Amino acid sequence: QVRLVESGGGLVQAGGSLRLSCEASGSIDGINALAWYRQVLGNHRVMVAVITSGGITDYHDSVKGRFTISRDGAKNTVYLQMDLLKPEDTAVYYCNADHGRGGSRQIYWGQGTQVTVSS
């Protein structure tokens, strides 16, 4: 079992920055990757950024060059630094953990944090 708690959302003007944090607790040794997704009301969740246990990162094309995902192993925390924010980045952002192998593989979600970018 993995528990994810996000923080850091809020309201920011276009061009500004925010940093989201997600603290993982529980069976963290089995986490394969941590990711940030976002969801606009009425749409599916879309992966924004991911970091594997080996430190490999990947990003949605729409945020490349503006967002940076990182992980603090000592604090079991994953961060999403969001710069040059645009109104279209407005969404609820969710932390996601990919945990376990084969038949024991599970996906965990945080409760979400709202990010609003005003024009």
Q: Which of 113, 119, 87, 118 is nearest to 19 (CA)?
A: 113
Calculated CA dihedral for residues 64, 65, 71, 72, nearest 10 degrees = -170
Q: Is 12 exposed, middle or buried (0-12, 13-18, 19+ CB in 10 A)?
A: middle
Q: Which pLDDT tens digits describe the chain residue by residue (119 residues)?
A: 899 999 999 999 999 999 999 999 998 888 999 999 999 999 999 999 999 999 999 999 999 999 999 999 776 899 999 999 999 999 999 999 999 989 899 999 999 999 999 99
Task: Return the amino acid letter for 8.
Answer: G
